[in-house]
Amino acid sequence: MTELGPIPLNAAGLDIENESMRIIDAEVPLPRPFGDTEWPVVRRMIHASADFELLDLVRFHTRAVTAGLEALRRGCPVITDTRMAQAGLSPRLYAPLGCEVHCLISDPETLERSRLTDSTRAAAAVDVAAQRFQEAIWVVGNAPTALLRLLELMQGKAVIPNLVIGMPVGFVQAAESKQALLESEGIPFILIHGRKGGSALAAAALNALAGMALARGADQIRNDISPLA
Q: What was the pLDDT predicted at 186?
A: 86
Q: What was the pLDDT predicted at 165?
A: 98
Question: What are the mean pLDDT values of the chain's consecutive 10-residue runs (229 residues total)?
Answer: 46 78 92 94 97 97 97 98 96 96 98 96 98 96 97 94 97 96 94 97 98 78 38
Helix (H), strand (E) at residue 110: helix 108-117
Evaluate whether residue 226 is within a structural domain: no
Evaluate whether residue 80 is within a structural domain: yes
CA 72 – CA 50 distance, rounded (Å): 27
Evaluate whether residue 113 is within a structural domain: yes
Phi, psi of 166 (to 5 degrees): -105, 100
Active site residue 47: yes
Evaluate whether residue 81 is within a structural domain: yes
Question: How many domains, the chain?
Answer: 1
Q: What was the pLDDT predicted at 11?
A: 55
CATH number at residue 25: 3.40.50.10230
Evaluate whether residue 5 is within a structural domain: no
Look up the domain containing 213 and give its range: 13-221
Catalytic residue among 47, 61, 102, 193: 47
Evaluate whether residue 1 is within a structural domain: no
Q: Record the pTM.
A: 0.88
Q: How many CB atoms neighbour CB 96 within 10 A?
A: 14
Sign of the Cα torsion 56, 59, 64, 68 reads negative
CA 66 – CA 56 distance, rounded (Å): 22
Evaluate whether residue 3 is within a structural domain: no
CA 58 – CA 42 distance, rounded (Å): 7
Evaluate whether residue 35 is within a structural domain: yes
Buried b / exposed e across 157-175, counting CB within 10 Å, b at 16+? eebebbbbbbbbbeeeebb
Q: What was the pLDDT predicted at 8?
A: 53
